[in-house]
Amino acid sequence: MRIYELSKELEIPSKKLIEVLQKEGVSVKSHMSAIDEKSVALLRKKFTVSAGPRQKDDDSTKLSKDAMQKEPVKSSPSRSKSRLSDKSKVSSEPISHKQIPEPVLAEPIEQEEQLEMVIEPLMVSEAAKRMGKAVNDVILTLLKWKIVAPKNQQLAQEVVARLAEHYGIKRATAEAVVKKEFEPLEKEGAGELRDRLPVVVVLGHVDHGKTTLLDFVRKTRVVAKEKGGITQHLGAYQANTKQGNLVFLDTPGHEAFPKMRQRGIKVADIGVLVVAADDGIMPQTIEAIEHLKKMNVPIVVAINKMDKVDPVRIEVIKRQLAEHDLLPEDWGGQVVCIPISALDGTGVDQLLEMVSLQAQLLELKAAHQGLAHCYVLESKLERGRGAVATLICQHGMLKLGDYFVSGNTTGRVSSIKDSSGKMLQEVGPSIPVSVAGFKDLAASGDLFTVIPKADIRRALQQQAQNAVSVSRGSQEGNINLLVKVDTNSSKEALLDAIYKLSKKSDVGVNIIHSAVGDINESDVELAFSTGTSIIGLHVKLESNASSLAQRRGVSIELYDVIYKLLENLHDRLEGAKEVEMERTKIGEAVVRAVFDIKGVGVIAGSYVQDGRFSRQGYVIAWRGKEKIGEGKITSLQRDKKTVKEVHSGYECGFVVEGITEWQVDDRVECFIDAPKK
């Protein structure tokens, strides 16, 4: 019998059963471990009802004390304890709250600890934010290094590293930053830690069935509404299941959205890795595995699309998982693999049961009182609500009317909606909600912290100091773009993808301006004044802006699917490359008459003997063996009509720039410049 099965029978948490067995010298690893009849009998005797209520209570109390002596009390408001630090290094003192950095206000206190950041390609504005510097300061520093980079320009990794060294910023790994950011601590007034719902991130390659699985669990049809049949946003939902309430994060599987996937993992307690049985392990599956392992997130594997393949494919997938250090539990490992069909629901109940059991082992807790500390998953502009953000509260209670600071913006909570659209007065930990009341759009990944009303003025002053106007700089020869998208995460993903395309091309891309929201008249005016074209992803073109764009001659391209946008931009970059040209002879003619016409010039009336003459051609004229001149054809006529070409066997007249001394019997060769083969 497996431990979790006996746990349900005895109504005792799996963790307590494991502790008893380990104390008795029985080797068990997890709730999925199988135990023999002797061990089953031992546990039944230990927790039997016949021993009497008092005895059972005493045993439970004793077990609880033993557990506390064996390891510290575990409290992981945002994630499992095992993910915050190595168990061998955990302090023996109880932990009651998670560290959330306080908002940076005016006249900040000098920090003793050196700032740390991940060195990666970043926009100038994002680099300044992470380094705690004003954007103008960073731009001026770059100018001193002869690097012209506006606020929205992407910086290469080596430039970010140089900036970090210049400002004395210590290099850190992504995992270290996340651990520090989410490190628990005692917080005065946090209140008692209570159970919270588990947050489950669903990951996998594009089109492997992640959204279809969540549609079945939530009884919705989200996948039918998605453009291009792929997820392009980070979704957060609360679902009521037979196994209890769970919070799911649906992540995009397309390669253009790595930061969205990382953001989902960052706040998750458990990862469900969806692998299509007919496809197997694919590039984004491997990426998800690596991130989940780096963040120490427990993994449950859902082998999907079993309705389409032979059951033997299960073993193939397990072998592939083992090659990436995810050893299935029936092969002696720790990873639970559940074959499912998200389409008809086969195996989904068993998958949810495994997720629920894993959550029980993590003993997830958080403070349900005090000022709220939240994490921004997504932000966008919403008609009637203004700037809104999708948040997950990690500690405290978020209420209507609360004042808050989030990254470079502040505000007051004016409305709270849950994932089903229901209006709420307040919300506690783990519940994903859409919150309105932001002064400006919050950046995805920012911390959202409720602060006393008295601190708002200082927060506004600090943000005013960091404000910078939109840069309109550009570089000659590059393609200038103005980018509008529907959410901050989409903007982040698109700018990263454009930066990667630009690096691979000889032609650069300048992002003159990027923002969230529909394309308006101001965007068109900015594009016109800077010689820029506009691209929009998941946005609309306002009617007034459309008519203005036609008058101004501004090019606007709208897309619903990111990969189509990137494909077209790639083609545009390829077309803008400098092509090596070579001059090729295409025809030869002989001059038969010369006409000097006032206002037109000297016309060489000629007979094309071979090939053709083109209006775009370049000619070289010969008199015998002597070269008498060369130049570009400025006019080409046949039968008194201007033509593009004249072929052999026909007469024509042409005017050549720089040659006026024509004579009968002069020989003329025509050349054109064509791409070198």
215 vs 297: CA distance, rounded Å: 23
Asked whether residue 621 is assigned to any structural domain, the reply reads yes
Residue 424 half-sphere exposure toward CB, CA atoms < 13 A = 19
Both 212 and 347 in a single domain? yes
In the structure, what pLDDT confidence band is assigned to residue 577 with cuts at 50, 70 and 90?
low
Shared domain check, 630 and 604: yes
Mean pLDDT of the region 262-268: 79
Mean pLDDT confidence for 224-230: 41
pLDDT at 594 over 80: yes
pLDDT at 303: 92
Asked whether residue 356 falls in the same domain as residue 486, the answer is: no
pLDDT at 463: 54
Dihedral sign, Cα of residue 455, residue 456, residue 457, residue 461: positive
Q: How confident is the model at residue 588 (pLDDT cuts 50, 70, 90)?
A: very high
329: pLDDT strictly greater than 80: yes
pLDDT value at 73 more than 50: no
- Is the pLDDT confidence value at 120 over 90? no
Is 90 exceeded by the pLDDT of residue 9? no
308 occurs within a structural domain = yes
Residue 50 has pLDDT above 50, yes or no: no
pLDDT recorded at residue 461 = 58
pLDDT at 88: 36
CATH code: domain of residue 521: 3.40.50.10050
Mean per-residue pLDDT, 28-44? 80
pLDDT at 85: 37
Tally Cβ neighbours within 10 Å of residue 304: 29
Of the candidate ranges 107-111, 207-211, 331-335, the one whose mean pLDDT is the lowest = 107-111
The tokens for 577 are 């490359």
66-70, 126-130, 212-216, 367-371: which has the minimum mean pLDDT?
66-70
pLDDT at residue 667 is higher than 90? yes
pLDDT attached to residue 66: 43
Considering only CA atoms, give the Rg of the chain: 34
Q: With 0-12 CB in 10 A as exposed, 13-18 as middle and 19+ as buried, what is 562?
A: buried
Q: How much is the average pLDDT of 182-197?
A: 58
Same domain, 63 and 156: no
The pLDDT value given to residue 294:
80
According to the model, what pLDDT value does residue 612 have?
92
pLDDT at 87 over 80: no
Q: Which long-range contacts (CB under 8 A, 24 or more apart) does 15-21 make?
A: 15/360, 15/361, 15/363, 16/60, 16/63, 16/67, 17/43, 19/63, 19/66, 19/67, 19/70, 20/46, 20/63
The whole-number pLDDT of residue 103 equals: 37
Question: Which pLDDT value is given to residue 302?
Answer: 92
Give me the CATH number covering residue 353: 3.40.50.300
pLDDT at 260 over 70: no
> What pLDDT score was predicted for residue 223?
42
- Give pLDDT, residue 406: 85
Q: Decide if pLDDT at 654 tops 90.
A: yes
- Rounded CA-CA distance 644/615 in Å is 5
Same domain for 295 and 241?
yes
- What pTM, to 2 d.p., does this model score? 0.51
Q: Is 544 inside any structural domain?
A: yes
**Is the residue at 147 inside a domain?**
yes
Unique residue bearing structure tokens 């007065």? 425
Residues 250 and 353 in one domain: yes
- Among 487, 560, 561, 569, which Cα is nearest to 254's? 561
> Above 90 in pLDDT, residue 609?
yes
- DSSP output for 403-417: EEEETTEEEEEEEEE
Segment 220-227 mean pLDDT: 44
pLDDT digits (tens, 9 = 90+) for 469-498: 333 344 444 778 888 888 777 787 788 788
Nearest to 372 by CA among 401, 351, 334: 401
What per-residue confidence (pLDDT) applies to 504?
74
Predicted confidence (pLDDT) at residue 271 exceeds the cutoff of 70: yes
Tell me: do 352 and 310 sit in the same domain: yes
- In the predicted structure, residue 436 carries a pLDDT above the cut 70: yes
pLDDT at residue 650 above 90?
A: yes
The per-residue pLDDT for 258 is: 60
Per-residue pLDDT at 607 exceeds 90 = yes
pLDDT at residue 108 in the model: 39
Residues 273, 211 share a domain: yes
Per-residue pLDDT tens over the stretch 299-322: 999 999 898 888 888 899 998 898
Helix (H, G, I), strand (E, B) or coil at 650: coil
Mean pLDDT of 271-297: 86
- Lowest average pLDDT, out of 91-95, 525-529, 673-677, goes to 91-95
Q: Is 468 part of any domain? A: no
pLDDT at 18 over 80: yes
Residue 222: the pLDDT is 44
For residue 592, name the pLDDT band (cuts at 50, 70, 90). Answer: very high
User: pLDDT band at residue 178, thresholds of 50, 70 and 90?
Assistant: very low
Can you say whether the dihedral through the CA atoms of 395, 400, 403, 408 is positive or negative? positive
DSSP string over 448-483: EEE--GGGHHHHHHHHHHH--PPP----TTSEEEEE
Predicted local confidence at residue 122, as pLDDT: 81
Residue 295 banded pLDDT, cuts 50, 70, 90:
confident
Domain limits for position 654: 581-675
Residue with structure tokens 């016949």?
50
Tell whether 342 and 204 lie within a shared domain: yes
What is the predicted pLDDT for the residue at 591? 93
Q: Indicate which CATH number applies to the domain containing 15.
A: 1.10.10
Domain boundary among 347, 363, 379: 363
Mean pLDDT, rounded, for 179-184: 42
More confident residue, 533 or 209: 533
Q: Measure the CA–CA gap between 525 and 528, rounded to whole angstroms.
A: 5
Given a cut of 70, whether residue 229 has pLDDT beyond it is no
Residues 327 and 212 occupy one common structural domain: yes
pLDDT of 51 strictly over 60: no
Same domain, residue pair 246 and 165: no
Cβ neighbours for 48, distance < 8 A, ≥ 6 positions apart = none
Question: Could you tell me if residue 606 is inside a domain?
Answer: yes
Q: What is the mean pLDDT of the chain?
A: 76
Q: Nearest to residue 269, comparing CAs of 430, 78, 118, 134? A: 78
Decide if pLDDT at 668 tops 90: yes
- What average pLDDT does range 624-639 have in this prediction? 91
Answer yes or no: is 23 within a domain: yes
Q: Quote the pLDDT of residue 651.
A: 93
In a domain? residue 135: yes
Claim to verify: residue 201 and residue 329 sit in the same structural domain: yes
In total, how many domains does the chain have?
5
pLDDT band at 172 (very low <50, low <70, confident <90, very high): low
Residue 502 has a pLDDT of 77
Q: How high is the pLDDT of residue 566?
A: 83
